[in-house]
Amino acid sequence: MRIGIIGLGSMGQMLVKSFCKSAVISPEHIVVFNRTRAKADALQARFGVAVADSAQAICEQASLIFICTKPLDILPVLEKLTIPREKHIVSVAAGVSISDLESVHAGPVSKVIPTVTSSELHGVSLYTASDRVSSEERSRLFTLLSAIGEVQEVTETNIETATILSSSAPGLIAGILDSFAQAAVRKTPELDIATARTILVETMLGTALLLKNEQLGFDQLIERVATKGGITEEGLRVLAKTLPGGFDELFAMTESKHAALKELVQKQVGKQMDEKE
């Protein structure tokens, strides 16, 4: 089987690197295309993947095709192509639904929300099923995704909130850690930012491993750290006051952004229907 990847920004490059690193597929079975060719050539030089001259060539050379452009470029790119019916199209875009994809391809379509952390072969790829995908096609896709992390099948109703937890979270966590480190340095300027960063990154890694390997609940880890009457308890009290409201607002704002994006994609679907009539 040959897989194709159209769009080689953060996600397209991540998929190439992760698939090659995991060795789930050999590089010569990966064919890539990007609007700006230099990104494709760089991946070919580094990993030995094949480079196509056009997105149409990807449709002819690959049976499973990841489309990794920005959400508002997904449908316009796909509708210009002649895609053989049997090709399995996988969109990674937030805000583009299975039915949107079905409006531009008569064959099997899937929606996957990957995550940057898969380049470390950890993290969660979200998957939403389409009725048109056969069990063999689904299983081929799952084999690829489970080689670069875990796969969680979610409904389209749940995928937006889950996207924040799986795919936005690496950026959000980096933002939280940055704020944590900056506050430490404001409090104690002798502790430089690089040292604060090193301490936090190693601590975060150890925390994740403890939670995962010992199957601890968050409350169990908290109990292990926060000595009764000790220092951590004070910090937790502050977090309990300030974080819930902040996270509620974060989910409200990201939901609005998802809704705005979906509305724009729906306009593209409507326009394409009008042009067909």
Ligand X SMILES: NC(=O)C1=CN([C@@H]2O[C@H](COP(=O)(O)OP(=O)(O)OC[C@H]3O[C@@H](n4cnc5c(N)ncnc54)[C@H](OP(=O)(O)O)[C@@H]3O)[C@@H](O)[C@H]2O)C=CC1
Ligand Y SMILES: O=C(O)[C@@H]1CCC=N1
User: Where is the binding site for NADP(+), in residues?
Assistant: 6-11
Rounded distance between C-alpha atoms, residue 51 and residue 134, angstroms:
28
In the set 9, 61, 107, 197, which binds ligand X (CB under 6 A)?
9
- Could you say whether residue 163 binds ligand Y (CB under 6 A)? yes
- Could you say whether residue 73 binds ligand X (CB under 6 A)? yes
* Stretch of residues binding ligand Y (CB under 6 A), selected from 153-161, 163-171, 218-226, 263-271: 163-171
Q: How far is the CB of 221 from ligand Y (least distance, A)?
A: 26
Is 47 in contact with 20 (CB distance < 8 Å)?
A: yes
Coil, strand or helix at 197: helix
- Could you say whether residue 91 binds ligand Y (CB under 6 A)? no
In the set 4, 19, 20, 34, which binds ligand X (CB under 6 A)?
34
**Pick 41 or 234: Cβ nearer ligand X:** 41
Size of the site for ligand X (CB under 6 A): 27
Element (H, E) at 151: strand 150-153
**246, exposed or middle or buried, with CB in 10 Å at 0-12, 13-18, 19+?**
exposed
| Single-letter amino acid code for the residue at 217 | G
Which residues face 4 on adjacent strands?
31, 65
Tokens 């969660």, located at residue: 124
Which residues of the shown chain bind ligand X in the complex (CB under 6 A)?
Answer: 6-12, 33-36, 39, 55, 68-71, 73, 77, 92-94, 113-116, 167
